[in-house]
Structures are given as structure tokens and as C-alpha cells.
């Protein structure tokens, strides 16, 4: 009985150290050291196993554990806001603001993403609230900004469409924009391709300038994913049409 009373007294003293004020409201110091001394003084007179399950805990230890748990929880919540989104990928966002230099896009992160306004043409400048597909370049740059790109998003979207056209041997249209050594450069909307001089027609062509600024039908004959190069041909379409005659 006496040992039980003593143990209860020790537990009460440990609990008393969890408060910052006495009964009358006066601030008191941490008494965990006093409690430890008390246990040490009386344990020689009692069963040694009586206090085997008693541990003196300081208030500072308890507070530290709470702060660690809170920080860990906040970190987890913050990490979850990123979901499956990663850099160098296409994501959906909503226009939330713009100024003379930047367009601000909400993509669900802790801060809005930034797109240089020059990436938008005057005729396709979005309005507040519009949904846009953007390319995530950096989740956070050296200044803490989330950097987005519309031009790269347009390129990646079109690149996928052209890849599908290559796989399915689909006929596409392109506009010849300039002449270079060995052939012509064709604009396929955002993406440019090379049209070799030998693939322009079934007959030899003496003057390639006659094709400048003209839209012609093409088929992709080479698609280099690593180098982001595309080679097209108008000749194969003409040859297929001749075979059908």
C-alpha cells in the first residue's frame, strides 16, 4: 500500500511539471530535476521494480516533439499539393492576372506561375479566368518563382500530333517559309520541318523559289525524337496518286 501511495505521489509530481503556473497564477520553474532527485532518494527504500516504468519527461522535450510533428505534417501537406505534376510536362492552369510583362497562371501550387506576355500573340491573349495548357519549366527558380511557357506547350502539343501523323502515315499540310541549301523549310504550325529538294516533286525542280509562301500537302518520312527533327516529302504523295491511275 505504501509503495502504491509513493508511486502515485511521484506521478502527480511529474504531471505538475507540465504546467507553467502554480495554482495562484504565479509562474514556476520546471521541477523535473526535483522529481528525479525525489525518485532517487526514495527508491532505495522501496522495491527496485516499482519505478521501472516511470520516466521523467521535461517540458522542453514534449514541446520539441510537438514542433517536429507539426513541421512534418506541414511538409506532407505541402508535398501533396504537387500531386503527380513534375517539371518539363504539360499541365492545365487558370489565368488569374496579368501586367505589362507577365501573365499569372494558377496551377494549384503555393504561388502562381509566370509566363512572359510576349509568348502570346495579341489576337490570342487570354482573359482572366481562362483555362490554358502550359509547359512547366521550373517548379521553383532561384527567385522562388514558378516558371511556365506557352510556346513550349504549343510545341509539345503539336509535336505529339505530328508524331501520330508519322505513325499513321497521315497526309498533313505545311507552308514553305524559306529556301536553304539542299531543300526547303516548311512551317507545320509551331514546328518546322525540312523538305529535301529531291522530295519536292517527281520531276527535277530547277527553281525552288516558286514554292515560297505556298501551302502544300506533305507526309512525314523521318521523325527524330531525340534531335527534334522532321523530314517531309511531297513526292511520295504524288507517287501514290500516280499508282492509283
Ordered structural domains, the chain, with CATH: 2-80 (no CATH), 89-150 (2.40.50.140), 169-243 (2.40.50.140)
Please state whether 83 falls in left (phi above 0), alpha (psi between -120 and 50) or beta.
Answer: left
Average pLDDT over residues 147-160: 94
| CB-based contact 92:108 (threshold 8 Å) | no
Which of these ranges, 16-25, 69-78, 162-171, 179-188, has the smallest mean pLDDT?
Answer: 16-25
> pLDDT tens digits, residue range 176-208?
999 999 999 999 999 999 999 999 999 988 899
DSSP assigned state of 182:
T
Across 4-8, 37-41, 47-51, 151-155, the highest mean pLDDT is recorded for 151-155
Where residue 11 falls among pLDDT bands split at 50, 70, 90?
Answer: very low
> pLDDT tens digits, residue range 202-217?
998 889 999 999 999 9
Task: Give the pLDDT score at 98.
Answer: 92
Distances (CA, A) of 138 to 108, 114, 148, 229: 14, 10, 7, 25
Indicate whether 230 pLDDT > 90: yes
Mean pLDDT of the chain: 79
| CB-based contact 129:168 (threshold 8 Å) | no
Share above pLDDT 90 across residues of the chain, in percent, rounded to a whole number: 50
Task: Give the pLDDT score at 14.
Answer: 45
Share above pLDDT 70 across residues of the chain, in percent, rounded to a whole number: 64
Across 8-12, 13-17, 61-65, 160-164, the highest mean pLDDT is recorded for 160-164
Amino acid at each position: 500500500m505504501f509503495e502504491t501511495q509513493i508511486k502515485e505521489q511521484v506521478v502527480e509530481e511529474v504531471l505538475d511539471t507540465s504546467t507553467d503556473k502554480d495554482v495562484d497564477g504565479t509562474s514556476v520553474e520546471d521541477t523535473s530535476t526535483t522529481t528525479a532527485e525525489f525518485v532517487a532518494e526514495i527508491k532505495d527504500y522501496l522495491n527496485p521494480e516499482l519505478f521501472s516504468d516511470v520516466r521523467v519527461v521535461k517540458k522542453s522535450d514534449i514541446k520539441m516533439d510537438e514542433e517536429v510533428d507539426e513541421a512534418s505534417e506541414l511538409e506532407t501537406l505541402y508535398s501533396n499539393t504537387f500531386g503527380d505534376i513534375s517539371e518539363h510536362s504539360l499541365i492545365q492552369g487558370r489565368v488569374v492576372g496579368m501586367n505589362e510583362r507577365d501573365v499569372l497562371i494558377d496551377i494549384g501550387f503555393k504561388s502562381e506561375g509566370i509566363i512572359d506576355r510576349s509568348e502570346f500573340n495579341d489576337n490570342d491573349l487570354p482573359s482572366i479566368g481562362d483555362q490554358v495548357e502550359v509547359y512547366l519549366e521550373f517548379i521553383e527558380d532561384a527567385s522562388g518563382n514558378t516558371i511556365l511557357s506557352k510556346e513550349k506547350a504549343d510545341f509539345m502539343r503539336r509535336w505529339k500530333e505530328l508524331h501520330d501523323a508519322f505513325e499513321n502515315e497521315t497526309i498533313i499540310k505545311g507552308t514553305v517559309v524559306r529556301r536553304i541549301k539542299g531543300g526547303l523549310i516548311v512551317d507545320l504550325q509551331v514546328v518546322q520541318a525540312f523538305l529535301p529538294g529531291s522530295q519536292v516533286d517527281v520531276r527535277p525542280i530547277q527553281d525552288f523559289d516558286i514554292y515560297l509562301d505556298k501551302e502544300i500537302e506533305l507526309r512525314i518520312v523521318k521523325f527524330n525524337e531525340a534531335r527534334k527533327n522532321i523530314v517531309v516529302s511531297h513526292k511520295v504523295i504524288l507517287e501514290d496518286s500516280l499508282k492509283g491511275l
